[in-house]
C-alpha cells in the first residue's frame, strides 16, 4: 500500500531524533514522536496510545565540556576567519572609505606637504639623490645553492620575506657574507635591487622613502629627476665599489642628472648609515684614480647644492656595540627575558641567537656604526656631555652626583646617570665612582681553557675559543667606555675586528694633512677627514628628538653552555625611580630610538660649524630637530609628526623642509637652526681641537 508523504516525513524525523537521543545516552524506545497520520497494524491499548503521544524532554546537547584542543582549534579558526575577512575588506573597499572614516573621527585631514607647497607655487627644481641606510634597501638573488632553486631574480631581503619563513637556514646562508673575504660565499650572488623601488617600502605596507617620493611627485618630480643610490648595505663601503662599482654608478648618475637639468646641482638625501656612505663617496670621488673616482678637488662644488642628512649616525650608535657583543638591543633583550632559553634552543635546526650573530658579524658595513671619537665625544668613567657631573669629594669616600640639566626633556631623569660607561657588569659598577673601582686588565689573560665540546661549534662566533677564565676577566673589568670598547671587541672577536679595522676607523685625527688619512678606512669618519672644498654647499642634520634612545647597558655573564653567547643584557636591573633612565638593563638618553642626539647633532653644531680643520672651506651647516609626537589615532598609522629613526621619513615638517630646499631655498630661507635639545650646550662640553 502506498504511504502518504506525511508518513515518510514523520518517519525520517522520528529516526533523526532517535539517533540524537542514542548519541547522548538516552533510550529512544522510551519516547516517541507524536503524529496522528502514522498508520498502525492492530489495535493498541490505552497505555500505548498515551506513550505514543508523550512529548520528549528537551536535552542539553552542548553540555559536554570543551577540551584545550577544542579551544585552540576554535581560536585558530576565529583568527583565520577574521584575517580573511579583513583581507577581503582591504581588497574590495574603495580607497575613499578609510579616508572618510578618519575625517569623521578627526576632522578634515591636512594636506600633505607636497600638495600644500604646490598651492604656494613651489615646483620641481634641483634633481634629487636618495641614499638609503642599512637594511632598508632590497637585495635579490642572482645565483644560489640548490636549496634556493626557483628564486633567481627574486628578493631575499625586503618585500614579503616569504623565503625566510619557507626555508630559514637556506635564507641565512644566502644573506650572509663570507667570514674571511667580506664578499659573497662561493656559488652565491646576492645583489642590490635598483631603481626607486629598491627602498620605497621595506616590507608590504611599511614605507621607507615612499612618502618622500610621493610628496616630491606632488610638486612635479618624475623618475628622470630622482635617483635612488642603491648599494649592498652589507658590504664595507669600499667593497661596494670593488664588487659592484656602486660608487662609480653614483658619480655617473649625479653627473647625468646635472647635465640633463641645465647644470642645476643635486640635493642629496642620505638616511641613517647612508650618511656615512655618502661621506665616504665624497672623499672617494675627489681622490685620484685608481684609488678613487678621479673627479678632482672641485667635483662636489660643481655637482652638489646641499646634503640633507636624515637620522645621521655621524659618530656611530651604542646599539652597534650591543649587537656586536651579544646580538641584543632593548627589545630583543626584553623578549629573551619573557621567554628564557627559547631563542637559544635548537628549534627545527634554527638556533636563533647564534645564527643571527653569525649573520650580523659577516656584514662588514655594520662596523661603521661603532661609536667614533672615544671618550672625547661619548664621555669617560665619570663624565658625559649630556650630564653635568659634580665631583666635590670623590677622594673623601662620597659618591659623585649628577644632576639633570634639562636636555633630556621628558625622556627620563638623568640623576645619577653616567652615559660615559657604555657597558657595566652590574648596576653598582655603573654608579660607583671610578676611584673605588679595581679593574682587571683582561687583554693579557690567555684564552687557553676552551669550553667543553667547543670542537662541535660550527657557528662562527669566536666565543667558544675564549674559555671560562677569559670570560671572567671580561666581567671583572667591570666598566667599559668608548675608549675601551674597541679593546673589548678586539679581545672577544679578534678575527671579526681584524676585518672591520681594515675598512673603518674610530679615532680623532691629530693632523688631517698626514698622508695616512688618504686611506679609504678613514673616509667615513668625520673626525678623521676633511669636507670637500665647496664653500657654496650646505649641510643639514635633520633628526628626531623626544624618544628614549639606547645609550648604555648593564650586562651579566650568562650560564655556561656549549657554543653559547656568554654575555647578556641584565633585564632584571631597573633604576630607583619610576622615571629613571635605567630600565631593563638599558640606559636611555634623548634621540630617535636609534641614534643619540650627540651623534646626530655634534658635527653640524660644532665640528663643522664655521671654518674648522674638518671644514676648511666653511660650508654652512644647520641643525634641524623634529620633536616626536605619537599618532593622533590608530587610523593615522605611523604618524605625521614622528621622530623615530625610520618613521622620520614620513614626518610632514621634515618633508616640507626638504621640498623647500630642493625647490631652491637655502638654510636661512627655511629658518636656519631649529633645536629643542641642549645639543649646543653638550657640544661645548666636548673638548676637541677645531
Catalytic residues: 272, 592, 645
Q: For 54, list phi and psi in degrees, rounded to 5.
A: -70, 135
CB atoms inside a 10 Å sphere around CB 324: 23
Among 312, 318, 352, 346, residue whose Cα is nearest residue 332: 352
**Helices (H), ranges, 349-506:** 352-362, 374-378, 427-431, 468-476, 485-492, 494-501
The answer to whether the beta carbons of residues 471 and 438 sit under 8 Å apart is no
Handedness of CA 407, 412, 418, 420 (dihedral sign): negative
CA distance 87 to 360: 34
Strand-pairing partners, residue 52, are none
Q: Omega of the bond prior to 265 within 30 degrees of 0, cis?
A: no
Q: Which residues contact 472 (CB under 8 A, 6 or more apart)?
A: 557
CA 649 from chain center: how many Å?
14
Strand-pairing partners, residue 143, are 189
Write the CA distances from 383 to 388, 413, 625, integer angstroms: 7, 16, 25
CA distance 337 to 571: 7
Q: For 627, list phi and psi in degrees, rounded to 5.
A: -75, 130
CA distance 417 to 579: 12
Grid coordinates belonging to 177: 657574507
The answer to whether the beta carbons of residues 168 and 176 sit under 8 Å apart is no
Grid coordinates belonging to 61: 546537547
* Beta strand residue intervals within 274-433, DSSP E: 304-310, 346-347, 350-351, 388-390, 401-403, 423-424
Among 133, 136, 109, 129, residue whose Cα is nearest residue 206: 136
Burial letters 593-608, b for 16+ CB under 10 A, else e: bbbbbbbbbbbbbbbb
Helix (H) or strand (E) holding 128: strand 128-131
Amino acid at each position: 500500500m502506498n504511504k502518504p508523504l506525511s508518513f515518510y516525513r514523520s518517519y525520517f524525523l522520528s529516526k533523526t531524533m532517535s539517533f540524537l537521543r542514542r548519541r547522548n545516552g538516552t533510550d529512544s524506545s522510551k519516547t516517541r514522536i507524536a503524529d496522528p497520520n502514522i498508520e498502525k497494524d492492530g489495535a493498541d491499548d490505552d497505555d500505548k496510545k498515551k506513550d505514543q503521544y508523550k512529548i520528549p524532554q528537551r536535552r542539553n546537547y552542548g553540555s559536554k565540556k570543551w577540551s584545550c584542543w577544542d579551544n585552540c582549534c576554535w581560536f585558530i579558526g576565529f583568527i583565520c576567519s577574521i584575517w580573511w575577512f579583513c583581507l577581503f575588506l582591504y581588497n574590495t573597499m574603495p580607497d575613499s572609505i578609510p579616508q572618510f572614516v578618519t575625517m569623521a573621527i578627526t576632522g578634515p585631514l591636512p594636506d600633505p606637504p607636497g600638495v600644500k607647497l604646490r598651492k604656494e607655487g613651489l615646483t620641481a627644481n634641483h634633481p634629487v639623490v636618495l641614499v638609503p641606510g642599512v637594511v632598508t634597501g632590497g637585495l635579490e638573488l642572482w645565483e644560489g645553492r640548490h636549496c634556493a632553486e626557483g628564486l633567481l631574480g627574486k628578493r631575499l631581503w625586503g618585500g614579503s620575506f616569504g623565503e625566510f619563513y619557507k626555508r630559514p637556514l637556506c635564507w641565512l646562508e644566502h644573506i650572509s657574507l663570507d667570514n674571511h673575504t667580506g664578499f659573497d660565499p662561493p656559488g652565491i650572488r646576492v645583489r642590490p635591487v635598483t631603481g626607486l623601488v629598491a627602498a620605497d617600502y621595506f616590507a608590504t605596507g611599511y614605507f621607507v622613502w615612499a612618502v618622500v617620493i610621493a610628496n616630491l611627485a606632488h610638486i612635479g618630480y618624475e623618475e628622470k629627476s630622482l635617483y635612488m643610490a642603491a648599494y649592498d648595505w652589507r658590504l664595507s663601503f669600499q667593497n661596494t665599489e670593488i664588487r659592484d662599482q656602486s660608487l662609480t654608478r653614483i658619480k655617473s648618475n649625479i653627473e647625468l642628472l646635472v647635465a640633463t637639468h641645465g647644470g642645476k646641482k643635486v640635493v642629496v638625501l642620505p638616511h641613517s648609515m647612508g650618511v656615512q656612505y655618502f661621506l665616504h663617496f665624497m672623499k672617494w670621488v675627489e681622490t685620484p684614480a685608481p684609488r678613487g673616482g678621479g673627479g678632482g678637488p672641485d667635483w662636489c662644488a660643481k655637482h652638489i647644492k646641499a646634503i640633507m642628512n636624515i637620522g645621521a649616525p655621524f659618530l656611530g650608535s651604542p646599539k652597534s656595540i650591543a649587537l656586536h657583543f651579544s646580538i641584543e638591543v632593548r627589545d630583543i633583550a626584553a623578549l629573551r627575558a619573557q621567554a628564557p632559553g627559547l631563542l637559544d634552543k635548537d628549534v627545527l635546526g634554527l638556533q636563533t641567537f647564534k645564527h643571527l650573530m653569525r649573520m650580523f658579524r659577516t656584514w662588514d658595513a655594520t662596523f661603521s656604526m661603532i661609536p667614533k671619537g672615544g671618550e672625547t665625544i661619548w664621555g669617560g668613567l665619570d663624565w658625559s656631555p649630556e650630564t653635568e657631573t659634580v665631583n666635590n669629594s670623590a677622594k673623601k669616600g662620597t659618591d659623585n652626583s649628577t644632576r639633570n640639566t634639562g636636555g633630556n626633556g621628558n625622556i627620563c631623569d638623568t640623576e645619577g646617570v653616567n652615559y660615559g660607561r657604555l657597558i657595566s657588569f652590574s648596576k653598582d659598577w655603573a654608579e660607583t665612582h671610578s676611584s673605588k673601582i679595581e679593574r682587571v686588565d683582561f687583554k693579557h689573560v690567555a684564552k687557553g681553557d676552551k669550553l667543553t665540546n667547543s670542537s662541535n661549534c660550527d657557528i662562527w662566533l669566536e666565543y667558544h675559543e675564549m674559555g671560562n677564565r677569559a670570560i671572567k676577566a671580561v666581567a671583572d673589568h667591570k666598566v667599559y667606555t668608548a675608549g675601551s670598547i674597541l679593546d673589548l671587541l678586539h679581545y672577544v672577536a679578534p678575527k671579526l675586528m681584524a676585518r672591520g679595522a681594515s675598512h673603518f676607523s674610530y679615532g680623532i685625527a691629530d693632523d688631517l694633512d698626514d698622508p695616512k688619512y688618504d686611506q679609504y678606512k678613514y673616509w667615513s669618519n668625520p673626525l678623521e677627514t676633511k669636507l670637500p672644498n665647496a664653500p657654496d654647499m650646505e649641510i643639514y642634520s635633520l633628526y628626531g628628538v623626544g624618544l628614549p634612545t639606547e645609550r648604555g647597558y648593564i650586562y651579566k655573564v650568562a650560564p655556561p653552555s656549549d657554543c653559547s653567547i656568554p654575555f647578556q643584557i641584565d633585564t632584571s636591573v631597573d633604576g630607583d625611580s619610576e622615571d629613571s633612565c635605567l630600565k631593563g638593563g638599558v640606559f636611555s638618553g634623548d634621540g630617535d630610538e636609534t641614534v643619540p642626539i650627540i651623534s646626530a647633532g655634534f658635527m653640524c653644531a660644532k665640528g663643522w660649524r664655521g671654518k674648522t680643520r674638518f671644514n676648511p672651506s666653511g660650508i654652512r651647516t644647520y641643525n634641524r630637530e623634529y620633536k616626536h609626537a605619537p599618532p593622533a589615532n590608530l587610523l593615522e598609522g605611523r604618524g605625521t609628526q614622528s621622530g623615530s629613526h625610520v618613521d622620520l621619513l614620513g614626518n610632514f615638517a621634515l618633508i616640507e623642509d626638504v621640498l623647500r630646499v630642493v625647490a631652491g631655498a637655502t638654510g636661512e630661507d627655511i629658518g636656519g637652526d631649529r633645536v629643542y635639545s641642549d645639543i649646543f650646550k653638550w657640544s661645548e662640553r666636548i673638548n676637541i681641537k677645531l
